Amino acid sequence: MSAKIRLYVEHPLGEGQTVPLNRDQAHYLFGVMRLAEGAGVLLFNGRDGEWLATVSAAGKRGGALAVSSQTRPQQAPPDLWLLFAPVKKARTDFIVEKAVELGAARIQPVQTEFTNSERIRQDRLQAHAVEAAEQCGATTVPEVAGLLRLDRLLADWSGSRRLLFCDEGAAGAPSGLNGAAPGGPWAILVGPEGGFSDAERARLSALPFAQTLSLGPRILRADTAAVSALTLWQHHLGDWR
């Protein structure tokens, strides 16, 4: 049996188990995707890998899936965080979606001095992360954390996690990754549309665990910078090597 639809569930997965569906999941599978009893669905929960299941009961308000066999083992992404200053709604959604696709393990919105958005809908962004994981074949869904001030985040930072901050002032310089050693925890910080303030740039530059990341000869928009930085890191240090 083949299946193209992937669904994130919180229920444990294993051979012979039955996974109950809530109303939203049932609406998606049976109302939107028009699946019927006997159809195949791929399931993952972020812990047990990916499993093939069959629709055993289909209703408007619920249903059930019978789990049969594992199709992929659990695959954890690299220990990479993406820290970014929220921008306009659609572009923030884009950053979260692409961070999942590019293998970020945690997504942390940060409030900088020039951040335009002072609040986020954490639940909505987490839902976007789930949808992105379903679409891209990931077996984990990164947590989208609540908005946190950058200075408070840095004050509690563990020095074992290296930090790359994307500084528009470094445009045209080498990326800075060629000499970096792979392995261990990392984080990438992307600033707001207005860039980092002079005080923020000075503080970041003075941190022993931080280094500047250049993203080429041109100044990029915040959402483009996030995708570019994640791609560079994955190519040099991540699971693309």
pLDDT tens column, 39-93: 999 999 999 999 999 999 999 889 999 999 999 999 989 999 999 999 888 899 9
Query: What pLDDT, on a 0 to 100 scale, did the predictor assign at position 47?
Result: 96
Domains of the chain in start order, with CATH, are 6-72 (2.40.240.20), 80-236 (3.40.1280.10)
Mean pLDDT, the chain, whole residue set = 92
CB 123 within 8 A of CB 146: no
**DSSP-assigned letters across all residues of the chain:** -----EEE-SS---TT-EEEE-HHHHIIIIIIS---TT-EEEEE-SSS-EEEEEEEEE-SS-EEEEEEEEEE---PPPSEEEEE---SHHHHHHHHHHHHHTT-SEEEEEE-TT-S-S---HHHHHHHHHHHHHHHT-S---EEPPPEEHHHHHHT--TTSEEEEE-GGGTTS--S-TTPPP-S-EEEEE--TT---HHHHHHHHH-TTEEEE---SSPPPHHHHHHHHHHHHHHHTSTT-
d(CA 7, CA 26): 11
Residue 180 pLDDT grade (very low, low, confident, very high; cuts 50, 70, 90): confident
Query: What pLDDT, on a 0 to 100 scale, did the predictor assign at position 97?
Result: 97
d(CA 58, CA 65): 9
pTM: 0.92
Tell the burial category of 169 from Cβ atoms under 10 Å away from its Cβ (0-12, 13-18, 19+). Answer: middle
**pLDDT tens digits along 86-124:** 988 889 999 999 999 999 999 999 999 998 777 899 999
**pLDDT tens digits along 149-171:** 999 999 999 889 999 999 876 66
Query: What pLDDT, on a 0 to 100 scale, did the predictor assign at position 189?
Result: 97
